[in-house]
Amino acid sequence: MSNQKNRLGIGQNSLKKALNPARLALSVFLFGGVITPSYATINCAGFLPSSYFERIKNNPPFMGKLVEQANGRQQLTDLNGNVVIDNLHNAYILMDKYVLAQKNGKYGVVNAAGKIIVPFKYDDIQTEPDIYTSFIVSVGSSEGNNKQGIINRHGGWVYPLADVGIQHAHYDADYDQDYFLVTNNFATNAKGLTGLLDDRGYWAVMPQYEVINPLNPCTGQPLYLQVGLQNKTALIDQNNKVIIPFSVNQHIESFNNNVSPLLFLRSRLSDGFASSNAIVMSEDIQENIVSAQIINANGNAVLASEAPIRKLLYHQLYTYKQAEKFGLINDRGDVILKPEFDGYRDDADTVWLEKNGKMFGLNTLIKSD
């Protein structure tokens, strides 16, 4: 096996290969906790860098056709009309490369030549919109539990079927590589631990957290993740380096995915607010935020606020509070208005700031954005 490096900066031989889940459970110390894992699959649509679309725009067209039949079924034919595979149902062409369809009630994936990538024997197949480089397959059981696994674009197993929960977590467009969150003991509803697995079957982050929430997936930048363990949260990078240490009553999210440098919003939560809810967006828990900080990717504080850092409705600006006064920053953390205002009112298209009992329109204080 070569020791080729990827964005993780780690050779393949130094990464740990995904093990049989039964053996894996023996190799990972199980921590107790009260955080409930989240299983919403990441959707890269709208976040992929322009370099990805530049790379795929010259991909060859799909060398086949889907033909509707009178009985409602579909056939895959070549461009000369020769039948490649028939008796398909709910068939779709993916990225001019594959056909995902049902056959005899089971899902599978083939290419234009009819080569089977994923056999037609799965109850469900999940794949990443706009990418389609790997496939999460599911098989139900008589007990009502699903087994899940991952098959790559070549038809090989990344992670064999097991009693785990799997979701897409990230796509690295520079290295054409998928990443997944894998949670063990998922089918038994036990308190399983979650890790980050790449599409070669190597653990970027071994299963050791109760919650992993990717903060900037598919953006063309190194991946950062909010993780939860034993009722505490932290920020790590994709090498499992801790950027913001574990703490209770802490919420972390990306502050500015669309600009550089990447910054993070760390909010201190009120006592008694369930840390399991710290996986939501800060805008949904404003009343539970006591104070906030803007943190850079090195873990250093860029700006501190005595109150929640709030985005103005119709402006790319944010309010913050210091010494009982309000100011404004942009999405790079730059101060636009120093904290010298007693209050503000956001009327969407018009923002008013109060100083010494007088109201000033935002458009009179700064250039319109």
In this structure, what CATH number is given to the domain that contains residue 109?
2.40.10
Q: Which of 209, 229, 262 is the last residue of a domain?
A: 209
d(CA 48, CA 123): 29
The boundaries of the domain holding residue 80 are: 50-122
pLDDT tens track for 106-117: 999 999 999 999
The count of domains in the chain is 2
Structural domain includes residue 280: no
Q: Which of 209, 235, 252 is the last residue of a domain?
A: 209
Structural domain includes residue 276: no
The per-residue pLDDT of the chain, averaged, comes to 85
d(CA 325, CA 328): 11
The answer to whether 333 and 263 have CB atoms below 8 angstroms apart is: yes
H helix intervals, the chain:
21-27, 50-56, 362-365
Tell me, yes or no, whether 186 and 160 share the same domain: yes
Structural domain includes residue 110: yes
Tell me, yes or no, whether 101 and 132 share the same domain: no
Structural domain includes residue 106: yes
Q: How confident is the model at residue 34 (pLDDT cuts 50, 70, 90)?
A: very low
d(CA 252, CA 266): 5
The answer to whether 312 and 346 have CB atoms below 8 angstroms apart is: yes
The answer to whether 137 and 129 have CB atoms below 8 angstroms apart is: no
What is this structure's pTM? 0.83
Tell me, yes or no, whether 118 and 182 share the same domain: no
pLDDT tens track for 198-246: 999 999 999 999 999 999 999 888 999 999 999 899 999 999 999 999 9
Structural domain includes residue 59: yes
Whether 11 shows a pLDDT value over 60: the answer reads: no
Structural domain includes residue 241: no
